[in-house]
C-alpha cells in the first residue's frame, strides 16, 4: 500500500472504509462508486485483514433508473448512465485480505453455518491508504479458488467489454493480465494468504456492524466508528 508511512496502523476492532473508484464517464472516471465499512482484523507490514459483516450498509453503483448493473446487457453495461445507491450486504460476511503492493486482494466466502466456500482474487489497483481507510480501482478480471486448490477465471467477458468501450487501454489491460498470471502462480505454489489458515478464522462476536457515514465519499482526518 502506498502512503502507509503517513498514517498510524489500525488495531483490531477499528472501523474503516474500503472504497473503489469508478470507471464510467458519467461518474467522472475517478469518482468513488463503491464504499464498504469494515472492521479491522489485522494490520501489519505483511497484510491488512478486514471483516465485512452481514447487514453492513454499503454504497454501490446502479444504473440511473436504479436497475442493478448486472441486469444491464453486457454491450451497454459500461456505457449506460449510472449513479450510486445505499444498500445492505445481505450475504454471509466476507473476510478481505490485502498484502502491500499486490495488484489484487483476496476475499474469503463462507456458506451459512461457516462452511468454507472459496477464496476470490479481486484484481485491482494497489490500494492507497488514508486515515479512514483504503481506496482502489477494480480491474474487472477475477479468480475463484476452491478448497481443493482448483481455480477458474471470473468475469472474462466484462474484462473484454471494458477494453472494447475504452475503460482499459491495451497497456493497462496487459498489466491486469500480468497481475492475473502472478496471482495464478501464487495459487499454484499455495503461498500466502492461501496457506495461512484464514478459512478457520472467525469474527469477534462482540464487534458491532460498522456504520456508513454520510460523508463516505470524502477523506476525513478521522473516521468515527
The residues with which 59 forms a beta bridge, in sequence order, are 35, 86
In 3-state terms, what secondary structure has residue 126?
A: coil
In 3-state terms, what secondary structure has residue 56?
A: coil
Cis check: omega of the bond before 193, within 30 degrees of 0: yes
The residues with which 95 forms a beta bridge, in sequence order, are 51, 108
Where residue 87 falls (left for φ over 0; alpha for ψ -120 to 50; beta otherwise) is beta
Where b means 16+ CB within 10 Å and e means fewer, 76-113 reads: ebbebebebeeeebeebbbbbbbbeebbbbbbbbbeee
List the grid coordinates of 51: 471483516
Instruction: Kindly report, residue by residue over 71-80, the tens digit of the pLDDT.
Output: 999 999 999 9
Q: At 26, phi and psi to the nearest 5? A: -70, -15
Predicted local distance difference test score (pLDDT) of residue 11? 97
The residue ranges of every structural domain in the chain are 4-200
Q: Give CATH superfamily name and number for 4-200.
A: FomD-like (2.40.380.10)
CA atoms within 13 A on the CB side of 49: 17
Predicted local distance difference test score (pLDDT) of residue 48? 98
Instruction: Kindly report, residue by residue over 202-212, the tens digit of the pLDDT.
Output: 999 999 999 99
d(CA 19, CA 16): 10
In 3-state terms, what secondary structure has residue 9?
A: coil
pLDDT below 70 — which residues of the chain?
A: 1-6, 24-30, 219-225
| String of DSSP letters for 57-102 | EEEEEEETTS-BGGGS-GGGTTTS-EEEEEEE--SS-EEEEE-TT-
The answer to whether the CB of 39 falls within 8 A of the CB of 51 is: yes
Amino acid at each position: 500500500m502506498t502512503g502507509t508511512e503517513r498514517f498510524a496502523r489500525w488495531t483490531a476492532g477499528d472501523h474503516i472504509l474500503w472504497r473503489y473508484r469508478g470507471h464510467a464517464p458519467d461518474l467522472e472516471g475517478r469518482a468513488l462508486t463503491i464504499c464498504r465499512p469494515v472492521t479491522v482484523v489485522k494490520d501489519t507490514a505483511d497484510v491488512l485483514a478486514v471483516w465485512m459483516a452481514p447487514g453492513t450498509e454499503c454504497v454501490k453503483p446502479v444504473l440511473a433508473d436504479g436497475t442493478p448493473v448486472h441486469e444491464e446487457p453486457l454491450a451497454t453495461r459500461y456505457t449506460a448512465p449510472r449513479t450510486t445507491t445505499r444498500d445492505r450486504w445481505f450475504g454471509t460476511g466476507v473476510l478481505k485480505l490485502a498484502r502491500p503492493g499486490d495488484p489484487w486482494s483476496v476475499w474469503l466466502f463462507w456458506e451459512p453455518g461457516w462452511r468454507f466456500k472459496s477464496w476470490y482474487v479481486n484484481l485491482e489497483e494497489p490500494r492507497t491508504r488514508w486515515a479512514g481507510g483504503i481506496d482502489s480501482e477494480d480491474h474487472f478480471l477475477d479468480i475463484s479458488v476452491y478448497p481443493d486448490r482448483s481455480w477458474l477465471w471470473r468475469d472474462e467477458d466484462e474484462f473484454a467489454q471494458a477494453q472494447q468501450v475504452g475503460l482499459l487501454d491495451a497497456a493497462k489491460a496487459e498489466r491486469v493480465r500480468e497481475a492475473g498470471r502472478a496471482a495464478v502462480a501464487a495459487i499454484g505454489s499455495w503461498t500466502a494468504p492461501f496457506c495461512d489458515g484464514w478459512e478457520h478464522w472467525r469474527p469477534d462476536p462482540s464487534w458491532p456492524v460498522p456504520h456508513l457515514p454520510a460523508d463516505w465519499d470524502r477523506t476525513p482526518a478521522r473516521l468515527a466508528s
